[in-house]
Amino acid sequence: MSVLIFVDQSEGHIKKASYEVATYGAKLAAQLGTTAEALVLGTITDNLADLGKYGIKKVHQVANETLNHLDAQLFTNVIAEAVKQLGATVVIFSHTQTGKAISSNVAARLQAGIVTGASALPDTTNGFVVKKTVFSGKAFANIAIHSPIKVISLNPNSFHTLAGEGVAEVSSLAIAVGNPKVKVNSIDKIIGEVPLTEADIVVSGGRGLKGPENWGILLDLAKELHAATACSRPVADANWRPHHEHVGQTGVQIAPNLYIALGISGAIQHLAGVNRSKVIVVINKDPEAPFFKAADYGIVGDLFEVVPKLTEEIKKMRGE
Amino acid sequence: MKILVCISKTPDTTARIAFTDNNTQFDENGVQWIINPYDEWYSLVRAIELKEKDPTTIIHLITVGGPDCDPVIRKALALGGDEAIRVNAPAKDSYYVAAQIAEIARQEKYDIIFTGKEAIDFNGSAIGGMVAELTDTPYISLATKFELTGNTALISREIEGGEEIDEVSIPVVVSCQKGMAEQRIPNMRGIMAARTKPLKVVEPTAIDALTSILSFELPPAKAGVKLVSPDNVAELVRLLHEEAKAI
């Protein structure tokens, strides 16, 4: 009964969510009295042995350049074959864009039950029960997996990484890789900004900012906090901000450590996208805004006065 | 061109989430049921747009569920689509549902299968990938744009911190999200037409579910908001730094 984690990489670098999965996988392996191993597809520049710091004993790499781009069918073939060769009985992904593209395919191939969006370690005292978020974060479900092989995809930011000491043994795995059917024509990454789904801190704006020309104060605060920026649905629909910044039930769902909402009333559909945030700060001039009920800290006041002060105070605190 | 659109029935986005029977069942009391927004606004409407461009296109809708799904699938037919298929079985888990859809897909041989990126009740994001795997078809997830020229699809999909444009020959399975299309409201003609469109009820294939829900729980209630005076912003920074350890 060994645990295999899938390490997601981009341009040769291991993604942050994969370290969370490594930590989670190592803890689960300890719970089951087995070891955690990792699978890496494609060529990579990061030092894979460092995954040992997160509790991974062995790293298996299929270092084929074809796998530097995601093709769900190729990835499914290779991962399923690796699971068979390595005799893994639990396979763990992160519930990120890549995880969503391949985890359920792999599960179907292996006839394995899957729980996506897991938020805690499985309870293995009686069977194998995984807790996951449901109803867009408004509740949790405890789901039992009955198949011999189990697949989990872990919600990003729901499990903290724990780096200690350790060096993983890295070896290459010989698995034939076919030809991709999906051709990647272009990749357009927003350079220099923190990706929203990976961000520790997110600063978000709503209609209370009154217009796109007022976004400067929000951007200043975000810059000071090294935060990603987001917005509410009406803001995206009015084209004040790009659609990829829209967080909420029908937009991006996030779970940062800190979510700062400026001039957002907090409709239930918005909360569904952000309620997994660890700490929520709401700044709104309307004391009746429903968001205050879901917040940890709040200021009832004019954001045009409060936000620049907040940026200044953070600078002061940091001794800048 | 033959398109399959997967439809799921979900509680309305504003529904009160509560549980009964010792927290083992979702409390359906007073719940309004809707077409899962990702299935409706993005995959179904995009399929309808493709049919508007090429009227020879045939759109099938499919759902897995009991007769209580019929009003929702009729509503979907009112927006568009030629016929609907309901696999008459409870949606036991994502593998069970995907395997039922794959069974129909193997018989009907669709060029495009659209799913929503997830259903807003169980947030699985699993059906598209499973149907693709079970029908041995390429899969593009989290698509924000879909253009078809001949047999070649150009599909934009969300990646971490950006977007990627993929090129693939059909058949293809695509999970859809915001950007694919704009929400539409069914018109009276559509609603009337939907009444006479075929809704085929088929019995399920024998497949074992691989997971089961044991119980639900609600998140612990928030301790309540700590309000700070707008004249004392420094106090908020102190709390975030010292108490919440968030900055």
Domain at A243, CATH number:
3.40.50.1220
- Give the helix, strand, coil percentages of chain B, each rounded to 5: 30, 30, 40
Give the Cα separation of B18 and B27 in Å (integer): 5
Q: Which residues of chain B have pLDDT under 70?
A: none
User: For A186-215, what is each residue's pLDDT tens digit?
Assistant: 998 876 677 888 899 999 999 999 999 999
**Averaged over A21-25, what is the pLDDT?**
97
Tell me which residue in A10, A185, A292 faces B160 most closely, judged by beta carbons.
Answer: A10
Interface residue A304 vs chain B (CB under 8 A): no
Q: Is residue A8 located within the same domain as residue A114? A: yes
Q: Is residue A145 located within the same domain as residue A19? A: yes
Task: Return the pLDDT at B150.
Answer: 96
Give the Cα separation of A280 and A261 in Å (integer): 8
Q: Is residue A146 located within the same domain as residue A218? A: no
Nearby residues of A89 by Cβ (< 8 Å), 6 or more positions away: A1, A2, A3, A148, A149, A150
In the structure, what pLDDT confidence band is assigned to residue A47 with cuts at 50, 70 and 90?
Answer: very high
**Stretch (H or E) spanning B35:** strand B33-35
In the structure, what pLDDT confidence band is assigned to residue A53 with cuts at 50, 70 and 90?
Answer: very high
* B128 contact residues in A (CB cutoff 8 A): 104
- Residue at a domain's end among A172, A187, A214: A172
Distances in Å between the Cα of A64 and the Cα atoms of A45, A68, A81, A259 are 13, 8, 15, 39
Q: Is residue A14 located within the same domain as residue A158? A: yes
What chain B residue is nearest to A304 in terms of C-alpha separation?
B230
Q: Is residue A35 located within the same domain as residue A116? A: yes
Q: Report DSSP letters for A113-166, one per residue.
A: EEEEEE-S--B-SSS-EEEEEEGGGTEEEEEEE-SSSEEEEEPTTSS-----S-
Assigned domain for A63 exists? yes
Asked if residue B83 lies in contact with residue B198, where contact means CB atoms within 8 angstroms, the answer is yes
Q: Is residue A113 located within the same domain as residue A250? A: no
The two tokens of residue A34 are: 């087995």
Q: Is A50 helix (H, G, I), strand (E, B) or coil?
A: helix
Task: Return the pLDDT at A218.
Answer: 97
Task: Return the pLDDT at A320.
Answer: 66
- Residue at a domain's end among A172, A204, A238: A172
Give the Cα separation of A159 and A157 in Å (integer): 6
Task: Return the pLDDT at A192.
Answer: 67
Q: Is residue A113 located within the same domain as residue A243? A: no
Would you say how long chain B is, in residues? 247
Question: How many structural domains are present in chain A?
Answer: 2
Assigned domain for A282 exists? yes
Assigned domain for A44 exists? yes
Candidates B122, B145, B155: best to mutate against A (most CBs of A within 10 A) is B122
Interface residue A296 vs chain B (CB under 8 A): yes
Tell me which residue in A129, A145, A225 faces B210 most closely, judged by beta carbons.
Answer: A145
Give the Cα separation of A297 and B42 in Å (integer): 36
Task: Return the pLDDT at B15.
Answer: 92
Report chain B's terminal Cα–Cα distance, integer Å.
Answer: 54
B27, B29, B32, B37 alpha-carbon torsion, rounded to 10°: 0
Asked if residue A291 lies in contact with residue A284, where contact means CB atoms within 8 angstroms, the answer is yes
Assigned domain for A28 exists? yes
Q: Is residue A168 located within the same domain as residue A39? A: yes
Tell me the percentage of chain A whose pLDDT exceeds 90: 88
Put simply, the answer to whether A117 touches B223 (Cβ < 8 Å) is no
Interface residue A10 vs chain B (CB under 8 A): yes
Q: Distance (Å) from the C-alpha of residue A306 to the closest C-alpha of chain B?
A: 6
Q: Distance (Å) from the C-alpha of residue A255 to the closest C-alpha of chain B?
A: 13
* A313 contact residues in B (CB cutoff 8 A): 233-234, 236-237
Q: Is residue A219 located within the same domain as residue A111? A: no
* B115 contact residues in A (CB cutoff 8 A): none
Assigned domain for A188 exists? no
Give the Cα separation of A21 and B194 in Å (integer): 47
**Averaged over A156-162, what is the pLDDT?**
86
Total Cβ atoms within 10 A of residue A233: 22
**Partners of B217 in beta bridges:** A140
Assigned domain for A181 exists? no
Tell me which residue in B120, B241, B247 faces A249 most closely, judged by beta carbons.
Answer: B120
Tell me which residue in B132, B138, B211 faces A143 most closely, judged by beta carbons.
Answer: B211
CATH code for position A24: 3.40.50.620
Task: Return the pLDDT at A224.
Answer: 95
* A292 contact residues in B (CB cutoff 8 A): 225, 227
Assigned domain for A130 exists? yes
Put simply, the answer to whether A117 touches B139 (Cβ < 8 Å) is no
* B124 contact residues in A (CB cutoff 8 A): 104, 116-117
Residue B239 CA to chain centroid, in angstroms?
40
Tell me which residue in A15, A105, A136 faces B139 most closely, judged by beta carbons.
Answer: A105
Q: Is residue A166 located within the same domain as residue A246? A: no
Put simply, the answer to whether B129 touches A104 (Cβ < 8 Å) is yes
Q: Report DSSP letters for B167-236, one per residue.
A: EEESSEEEEE-TTS-------HHHHHHHHHS-EEEEPPP----SEEEEEEEPPPPP---EE--TT-HHHH
* A190 contact residues in B (CB cutoff 8 A): 161-162
Structural domains present in chain B: 2-220 (3.40.50.620)
Query: What b-and-e string marks burial along A41-65, b requiring 16 or more CB atoms within 10 Å of the CB?
Result: bbebeeebebbbbbbbbbbbbbebe
Task: Return the pLDDT at A292.
Answer: 97
Q: Is residue A15 located within the same domain as residue A125? A: yes
Q: Is residue A19 located within the same domain as residue A164? A: yes
Asked if residue B100 lies in contact with residue A108, where contact means CB atoms within 8 angstroms, the answer is no
Assigned domain for A182 exists? no
Q: Distance (Å) from the C-alpha of residue B190 to the closest C-alpha of chain A?
A: 25
Structural domain of residue A225, as residue ranges? 196-317
